[in-house]
Amino acid sequence: MKRRNFLEHVGWTGAGIVWTLGATGTLSAAGAQEDRGFSFVQISDSHIGFARPENPDVAGTLARAVAAINALPNQPAFVVHTGDITHLAKAEQFDAARSLLQSLKAPLLALPGEHDAIGSLKGYFASFGRKDAPDGWFSFDQNGIHFVSLVNVFDFELMGKLGRTQLDWLKGDLAAVPGSRPVVVFAHVPLYALYPTWGWTTEDGAEALQMLARFDHVTVLNGHIHQIIEHREGNIRFATAAATAYPQPAPGTAPKPGPLLVPADRLLSVLGYRTLELVPPSDLHSEDHPLA
Amino acid sequence: MIAALPAIALAALLPAAAIVHIKNFTYVPATIRVHAGDRVTFVNDDDEAHTATALDKSFDSDGLGTGDTYQHVFPKPGTYRYFCEMHPYMHGTIVVLPRSSQ
């Protein structure tokens, strides 16, 4: 990663969360990274089944991400996949994705994206569902962090929404959490209006964000956009992850969203995964790692 | 020897067909008129995946990758609105007229 980018993102440290962007080497040189214990990894948008010039080998790039994560010296407590595991929600695509992701050393949490919800969420639930999350959403506490995993993909009844049922659940879930506890939220589609013209927003996301306003440290991690985008609203920090499959145009830079063709020798540099490390007591150190 | 049959006989044997292309996140044409028993083919010309899913769930293409097609025969007259499950702002309409109005 270029030093220019690293410097740009150092600017984020003021709010208490250390945000940096770059390869491990850069950060080690900057003295910002050492073994701090609890960490987790985010990957997103693998689109298994996609086979177009933008990435003719999405299985290969996901496998590359898995290998890189397995090689991390500080193994993450878990890996979260923030959705669009498959391209068309076909059974064989879920099977292939599960087989690739099973080789992760760390436990996996996988959210559905709208591509995993085509027709229904049946295929997703069969391959990646959790017994303790019959509707898909769930929360848990680990190392002093309250984690909330949401489902905001399109559904016939609830298009582009979290929906009343999930919002009511979220309200009840957060009610018992002290405001000083760091909260990390996973969702596929951004919860804020990243670029509504392209549908890059959650219709009732604002209601969820209101519930999160009283917490001192909130980090929302999402996918869907296939590029690294950081954003902040008050105490809430949003980070959109790179895909493992293919990039998309920056908001508004093309007539429509969709797979973006980059020169083959550049593809791995725009795909990646993200590590997040807890810097006690409540800071979260985020770092994006390109696949090459 | 189908080729030897008169054109009128062929028309009676084969359902009429219409094609809806999915291009640039739009159904083209957005509204088509066909007759009961006609077959409509949806072709995804986009790089992005789409569906053609009836609001009343009477038909559903499931996911269409680039170049994929889906066909549906509309047996009953009516107005069928459909959308893309992944991009719900994409909308199209199939108006199915009774056969007698042909």
Closest residue of A to B46, CA-based?
A: A258
Q: Phi then psi for A281, rounded to 5 degrees?
A: -85, -25
Query: What is the average pLDDT across A214-220?
Result: 97
Closest residue of B to A115, CA-based?
A: B86
CB contact under 8 A, B85 and A154: yes
Reported as type and span, the H/E element at residue A240 is strand A236-240
pLDDT digits (tens, 9 = 90+) for A55-98: 999 999 999 999 999 999 999 999 999 999 999 999 999 999 99
> What pLDDT is recorded for position A22?
40
User: Which of B47, B86, B88 faces A118 most closely, judged by CB atoms?
Assistant: B86
| Band of pLDDT at residue A209, cut at 50, 70 and 90 | very high
CATH of A3-290, one of 3.30.70.100, 3.60.21.10, 3.40.47.10, 3.40.50.2300: 3.60.21.10
> What pLDDT is recorded for position A247?
98
> What pLDDT is recorded for position A198?
86
Closest residue of B to A261, CA-based?
A: B47
Q: Give the pairing of strands A39-43 and A79-81.
A: parallel
| Band of pLDDT at residue A242, cut at 50, 70 and 90 | very high
Per-residue pLDDT at B9 exceeds 60: no
- Which position has the token pair 């089944």? A49
Whole-number Å distance between alpha carbons of A106 and A66: 10
User: To the nearest 10°, the Cα dihedral for B33, B37, B38, B41?
Assistant: 110
Q: Give the pairing of strands B53-54 and B78-83.
A: antiparallel
B91-97, strands of its sheet edge to edge = B31-35, B91-97, B78-83, B53-54
Per-residue pLDDT at A29 exceeds 80: no
- Which position has the token pair 């292309």? B21
> What pLDDT is recorded for position B7?
52
3-state secondary structure chain B: CHHHCCHHHHHHHCCCEEEEEEECCEEECCEEEEECCEEEEEEECCCCCECCEECCCCCECCCECCCCEEEEEECCCEEEEEECCCCCCCEEEEEEECHHHC
Per-residue pLDDT at B16 exceeds 80: no
A185: CB partners within 8 A, 6+ apart: A147, A148, A149, A150, A191, A208, A212, A218, A219, A220, A221
Percent of chain A exceeding pLDDT 90 equals 79
Identify all chain B residues contacting A114, using CB atoms and an 8 Å cutoff. Answer: 85-86
pLDDT digits (tens, 9 = 90+) for B47-78: 999 999 999 999 999 999 999 999 999 999 99
> What pLDDT is recorded for position A1?
38
- Spell out the domain ranges in chain B: 13-101
Identify all chain A residues contacting B49, using CB atoms and an 8 Å cutoff. Answer: 50, 87-88, 115, 118
- Tokens representing A251 are 């908001």
Instruction: Tell me how crowded residue B11 is: count the other CB atoms within 10 A of its CB.
Output: 12
> Would you say A54 and A246 are in contact if contact means Cβ atoms under 8 Å apart?
yes
pLDDT digits (tens, 9 = 90+) for A104-114: 999 999 999 99
Listed in order, strand segments (DSSP E) in A133-212 are 138-142, 145-149, 183-187
> What pLDDT is recorded for position A238?
98
Question: To which CATH superfamily is domain B13-101 assigned?
Answer: Cupredoxins -  blue copper proteins (2.60.40.420)
Peptide bond into B29 cis (omega under 30): yes
> Would you say A36 and A279 are in contact if contact means Cβ atoms under 8 Å apart?
yes
> What pLDDT is recorded for position A199?
85
Identify all chain A residues contacting B65, using CB atoms and an 8 Å cutoff. Answer: 49-50, 87-88
> What pLDDT is recorded for position A245?
98
pLDDT digits (tens, 9 = 90+) for A140-194: 999 999 999 999 986 644 446 899 999 999 999 999 999 999 999 999 999 999 9
Reported as type and span, the H/E element at residue A228 is none
Length of chain A: 292
Handedness of CA A64, A70, A74, A77 (dihedral sign): positive
